[in-house]
A and B are shown apart, each in its own frame.
Chain A
Amino acid sequence: MSKQKGEQEQPINPSQWKLHQPYNAKTVGILIVLFVILIHTGKNTEVPRMISSTFEWAQDLVGLKETSEIGRGTQKLAEKMFPPVISERQELSRIDDFDPDNLPLFSHVEKEVQIYKEYNTDTLELEEVREEKEVLVKRFGYLVHVIKKMYDSLEIALWGTIIAIIVSIPLAYCSSANYAPNKPIYHAARAFVSLLRAVPELISALFLVLAFGFGPVAGILALGFHCAGFFGKFYAEDIENADRGPQDVMLAVNAGKIKTLLYGVFPQVFPQYVAYTLYIVDRNVRMAIVVGIVGAGGIGMELKGRFDMFDYGHVCTILIALFVTVFSLDILSAKIRQSLIKENNK
């Protein structure tokens, strides 16, 4: 910068420069408020108990303490959960038209002694009764059942995603600022998209189970509506951010909004759409299990049922199946995403 006439050159003296303090009163005030909030909320949510119990458990694990509450609990649970149950046992007397010469694959018949207590009306005492029963043991029966239920959940996730895409296409069109037919429709569409996202699928599943009854329909609709909110938002934002150039050319030759969207926008945003869809499929598989817990079909219903009956061996099988499915899907969607990125960078 040029200096004005008559202005005298001042000698530079860095020792006179004012230095800022690393922490000022405002920072200290914010930290105090945050600390008070943490103390208050921590007390309400039993954080001190969580810390002390976990610490006790850690001491127990490394041998510094003989026993701990969490240690005892986890040990009991582990004993009940392992080994995971993969077979299925069924009394022969309860199977209609049982044919001993034509047994299902990987199954055999064995005798089982059941001991239970019965009240003797003569002696007025509880007596132990031993009863021998023939049962059909299907070696992988329960595992097959879990796989079938898992498949049901995958189907719910798939259809939930399809419904979400179908619902979100008109919503995205109406909630993108540059394609919405008019302002009131634009604001209404945006509000509806926010509403769909705001209602968690577990809550909507609870109501949909009341409306449609137990089963996959409630699950599909719960996932579909919630994810339509996500797709509607993502798709609309991509439409707004797409390169205007090709769209202007098409609009200038009277192509109309819908055809311009199909040819001027859709090819540009397609890779992002696929990426979102893969993410939502991945998420819907996990959420299909959760909505099942409230009766919306799939493996979630089975998990809830077994948990309520304290069949922890069965629960363990279900959890392993869940882990394998989610992990496999994660690898698969990562591979598809990678190939898309490669294709896009060509």
Chain B
Amino acid sequence: MIQLQTLTKQYPDGTFAIDDISLEIQEGEFCVLLGPSGAGKSTLLKLLNGMVTPSKGSITINGKTLLPKALKEIRSIISTIHQNFNLVTRMSVEKNVLAGALSKVSLLRALFGVFPQPLRRKACDLIASVGLEEKHLYRRVVELSGGQQQRVGIARAFILDPSIVLADEPVASLDPNISRNVLSILRNAAQRNNTTVLCSLHQVDLAKEFGERIIGVNKGKIVFDGTPELLTQQDLEKIYA
């Protein structure tokens, strides 16, 4: 479970990226953070994996408060998926997925690129589960389409069976059909592993279609929190005001 209490992030120039947010997300929930560009969605996700430190308030994940001391432990249960995939494009699909499990591989093995066989098998299963085939395994990521690259990103995110997946605009650079496909792959993977997903989106139709819960964010504040069915035109106007 994720708990945010009076969370605030103020940048040195005085801007409030996150402004006094309190929130609770249950285990296994597929939450969509909906909001326009600059609303604070990415900052919120960065706060959750410790890449950005809050100015005020606290974050508790599975009962542990996110402090520098606990960062390593908390990061081991969190994975991230990014808008621009953040894959090493010259590296093969297999190596990119395995790179998500580097923390579990000894330095010597990493140095010589010899990953344990069970981990490699797991990578194959994940690659297959996101709809890629054996022929893709040793292809460089740069040779894949945008949608295929994001599927590799999803496979990488699930390699260590994370409890929480943070997806920052995972389909922003993809066309609508491929976006649906990628999001359904993400949702299925999350359901299979009972993973909590916090996914930021700016497309309302996709948020309604895939989110079990929608959290509307505008100017660093939560302006809507509820199921897709409860999201009205008025709420959307507040979110995109």
Contact = CB atoms under 8 A, between A and B. Distances in A.
Nearest to B99: A263
Given A246-B88, A248-B86, A267-B88, A253 B51 contact: no
Interface string A239-267: 00000011011101111101110111001
Interface in A260-317: 260, 262-264, 267-268, 270-271
B190 interface: no
Contact of A249 (B82, B89, B105, B111): B82
Contact of B102 (A245, A255, A346): A255
B90 interface: yes
B103 A268 contact: no
B79 A253 contact: yes
A310 B215 CA distance: 89
The contact size tier of chain A is: 20 to 34
Interface SS, A side: helix
Contact of B86 (A245, A258, A262): A245
B103 A255 contact: yes
B72 interface: yes
B230 interface: no
Nearest to A345: B142
B102 A259 contact: yes
27 contacts: A246-B87, A248-B51, A249-B80, A249-B86, A249-B100, A250-B102, A252-B49, A252-B51, A252-B75, A253-B75, A253-B76, A253-B102, A253-B103, A255-B99, A255-B102, A256-B103, A256-B107, A258-B110, A259-B110, A260-B102, A263-B88, A263-B91, A263-B95, A263-B99, A263-B110, A264-B99, A268-B88
A248 B168 CA distance: 13
Interface residues of B, number: 33
Given A245-B82, A346-B143, A254 B87 contact: no
Nearest to A271: B90
Interface of B: 49-51, 72, 75-76, 78-80, 82, 84-91, 95, 99-103, 105, 107, 110-111, 140, 142-143, 156, 160
A346 B141 CA distance: 11
**Nearest 10 pairs between A and B by C-beta?**
A245-B86, A255-B102, A254-B103, A259-B102, A267-B91, A267-B90, A263-B99, A246-B88, A259-B110, A249-B86
A85 B133 CA distance: 65
A246 B85 CA distance: 8
Nearest to B87: A246
A248 B105 CA distance: 18
Given A263-B88, A346-B143, A252 B110 contact: no
A223 to B, nearest CB: 27
A271 B90 CA distance: 10
Nearest to B143: A346
Contacts of A255: 99, 102-103
Contacts of B91: 263, 267
A268 B84 contact: no
B131 to A, nearest CB: 21
A40 B38 CA distance: 63
A178 to B, nearest CB: 14
Interface in A77-124: none
B111 A254 contact: no
B64 to A, nearest CB: 15
Nearest to A247: B86
A80 B110 CA distance: 61
